[in-house]
Structures are given as C-alpha cells and as structure tokens.
Amino acid sequence: MPRILLSAYACEPGRGSEPGVGWSWATELARQGHDVTVLTRAANRSTIERESSRCNGHLSFLYYDLPKPVQRLRRFPGGKQLYYVLWQWFAARRLRRRSPRLSFDVVQHVTYVSVRYPSFMGSLGIPFYFGPVSGGEVVPPALRSGFSAPGRCREIVRALSNRWVRIGPLMRRTFQQASRILVTRDTLGLLPRSVRHKATPTLAIGLASDFAGGSQPALRTPHMRLLYAGRLLDWKGVDLALHAVSIARQKYPAFRFTIVGAGPRSSRLQRLCRRLQLDEVVHWAGWIPQALLGDFYRNTDLLLFPSLRDSGGMVVLEALAYGVPVVCTDLGGPGLIVDRSCGRVVATGGRSRQEVAQALANVLLEVSCEPGLLDALSRGARLQAAEFSFARLVQSVYPTPSATVMERPA
C-alpha cells in the first residue's frame, strides 16, 4: 500500500462542495487500508478532530495556515483565491524543510477541485497526482442570453481564465511536475498537448460510503412533485426550469415545484415566477443544511436540475441514491451521470433557451403521463447511484485488489 500525502486545503466533515470532497478522499483512502496523511487548513482542525476519532488508524492530519494578518486577505475581492495560492506555496515550502522526516510514496492534490489554480506539491520530489480537477465546463453562448449583466461578465472572465490555463507559467509547471493528471471530460481540452498523455478523464465526485440514501420509494401523490436543490445563480438554469414547468402545466397542471437554495439571483427568479403565474405551484424553501436535504429527497418524485456547466453535481448523485430520477442537460457532469435508466438528459447543442425549456417541458410530460415510467426510473436511479461511489473513484486511482471495497446496497 502506498503512503499517501493528501493535499486538501478544503477538508471538513459534514459539509458539501469542496470541503466534502476533501473529507471523502481522506476517509475513503483510509477505509481502503492506505496510510494517509492529510495536509489541510488549521482552521478546520476542531471539526476534523471531533470526527476523525471514528476513523481507523490509517488517517492522520497535518495542519497549516498562514499568519493571521495574511488570513485577512480573504475578506477582500479576490483575496480568497490569492490566499489559497499563497497557502499552497508556503505549505509545500514547509514540507520540503521537514524532509526527510516526511516519508511518502505519492502526494495527491484534491482540493480545490479547480484546474485554474496551481499546486506546488510537485516540488516535493515524489510522484505527484494532480486532481481530479475540473473547470473546463462552459455555458454555450446561445444559452447565456437570459443571464444578468454580472452573470454574462463572469462567463466571459471564466472563458478568458480557461485560456490562461494552457499558457500560465504556474499551471504549466503544475502539469509538467505531475506524474498523473485527473480531469473531467470537459477539462481535458484545457491541458497543453504536451501533457495530455498523463491525463485520465474522470468525474471529480462520488457518493461517500456512509451516504445512506433512501431504502423506500417516495409515496406517490396526485401531484408530480419536482425538486431543485442548489445555489440560485444564472448558470444553474433555474429560470429554464420555471419556464419548463409553465409550459408543461398547459397540458398537465398537477405539478408542484420546490426550490431549495439561495443566491444572488433569488429575487430575479421570484419575479419570473410571479410573471409566469406559478406562485401557487412553486415553494421557495431557501437555504437548507446539508443534513436536512434527505427529507426533501424522500418527498419528491423528480429532480429537475438544468444546470448549464456543473462539473459534477453532487445533488444529482444524492437524488439518485434516494431513488429520485433526474432530468438534466447534457452539459457537464450531470449529463455523464444520468442515462435513460434513471432519468432524462436534454440535449442543448444548437438550441436556444426557449428550445431547451420546451425540451425540458416535453420530458416532464413524458415522465408524468407515461404509466409506470416514474417507478421504473426510480428503481434505475438506485442502481445508477451505486456506480458512482467514492469507493470506486478511489480504487480507479489506487487499485487495491486485496482490499475489500464495500459498496452501498443498491
């Protein structure tokens, strides 16, 4: 078994997004018998140590943070990103100074899960795995027309920063030092051609081994209960979901749509809801703690998740694990996770926003009106979720034939 140093700037139990990814990598590697030392922020220490006592003896932590005055950078625009890069640099420098007391066979960078930010762990003189990382996903220009002005600007900046990935000296150095590069499908094209032979396309997410999901199907009601869960941002496509529900209701009025989440587009989306006369249909649940989302999955029939550039989409995997079929677009990770056995994937190529909304509405009507389809998709959802476990993701990077990798029951 290799001795692994895991660089996880964001790593915290009981959290979603980046901290959840870091924690899942750490605990799953240890569960499979690897000796793992996790390098992470000292700010996460108290939360980690409350939970790490439940893990086996293969898991330990190194904590590091920059001095308090430097941490104040995080309060300013762009400061979080600058602090993150500085943390990466000085953490690697500190590790080099401690050598040879630190003895590892491989160092792997796992968070942040972004191809735009460098890691300096390749300077430690041991094999260096970079990723899985993502970030190459972009919203097609034809689908940006409904964005707010700030939203359109962010997409332009994102596209420009993606171009910089290929030529930026820090990223080129990261790629050159890496023994392996693990990237999402849409991110592969951002790598310089000279390093693509080291790259392996892979999703950056998976369901943790302790994620229980739902063992029983949701009780059906006279209504088709739809759910969206996530931030309320332009590129999440919630406005497309609202338009789709409005169109579908003309033929099948028994929809109920719960929107879980908060974000800068909340007011704008609520105005659109009123304009579409959906006030009696849509319930705005606001932000909900991660631990309480299970109640929403148990009481919904279909996850409507028309995101336009999610690299992963943990909410998609969680819904499937609860037996909730998913309707999504073919952009990013959700379009790779979902197939016709567990939901429907709406093609976006060459389509306008109106055409995508119509296609989503057609799918809602198909699932609502075809006898037995929803139950069949629900059964397929649980089977599909089992294919995307963190256990399998970890084994794809560190094959351990002798290890017992326990999957959740389908």
Tell me how crowded residue 271 is: count the other CB atoms within 10 A of its CB. 10
Are 123 and 182 contained in the same domain? yes
14 phi and psi angles, rounded to 5 deg: 75, 15
Are 202 and 229 contained in the same domain? no
Are 151 and 58 contained in the same domain? yes
Q: How many residues does the chain have?
A: 410
Residue 239 lies in a domain: yes
pLDDT of res. 51:
80
Whether 167 shows a pLDDT value over 60: the answer reads yes
Are 372 and 393 contained in the same domain? no
Are 123 and 153 contained in the same domain? yes
Look at residues 184, 178, 174 and name the one whose alpha carbon lies nearest to residue 204: 184
Residue 135 lies in a domain: yes
Q: What is the pLDDT of residues 79-132, one digit of tens each?
A: 899 999 999 999 999 998 876 566 899 999 999 999 999 999 999 999 999 999
Residue 218 lies in a domain: no
Residue 326 lies in a domain: yes
Answer whether 386's CB lies under 8 Å from 410's CB.
yes
Residues 6+ apart with CB under 8 A from 14: 47, 51, 290, 291
Are 167 and 143 contained in the same domain? yes
Q: What is the distance of C-alpha 333 from the center of its chain?
A: 8
Residue 378 lies in a domain: yes
pLDDT band, residue 402 (cuts 50/70/90): low
Q: What is the pLDDT of residues 262-276, one digit of tens each?
A: 999 999 999 999 999
Are 30 and 78 contained in the same domain? yes
Answer whether 383's CB lies under 8 Å from 341's CB.
yes
User: What is the Cα–Cα distance from 234 to 312, expressed in whole angstroms?
Assistant: 17
Q: What is the pLDDT of residues 336-375, one digit of tens each?
A: 999 999 999 999 999 999 999 999 999 999 999 998 999 9
3-class state of residue 8 by DSSP: strand
Are 34 and 177 contained in the same domain? yes
Residues 6+ apart with CB under 8 A from 179: 106, 127, 128, 129, 198
Residue 146 lies in a domain: yes
Which pTM does this prediction carry? Answer: 0.88
The CATH number for 285's domain is 3.40.50.2000
Are 37 and 94 contained in the same domain? yes
Are 107 and 117 contained in the same domain? yes
Answer whether 197's CB lies under 8 Å from 283's CB.
no
Are 268 and 302 contained in the same domain? yes
Largest interatomic CA distance in the chain: 70
pLDDT of res. 97:
84
Are 56 and 117 contained in the same domain? yes
Number of domains in the chain: 2
Q: What is the distance of C-alpha 25 from the center of its chain?
A: 13
**Category of 406 on φ-ψ map: left (φ > 0), alpha (ψ -120 to 50) or beta:** beta
| 246-270 exposure pattern, b = at least 16 Cβ within 10 A, e = fewer | bbbbeeeeebbbbbbbeeebbeebb
What average pLDDT does range 240-252 have in this prediction?
96
- The domain in which residue 160 lies consists of 3-209+388-397
pLDDT of res. 207:
87
Residue 186 lies in a domain: yes
Q: List C-alpha distances in Å: 174 to 13, 70, 167.
A: 28, 24, 12
The DSSP element (H or E) to which 285 belongs, if any, is: strand 282-286
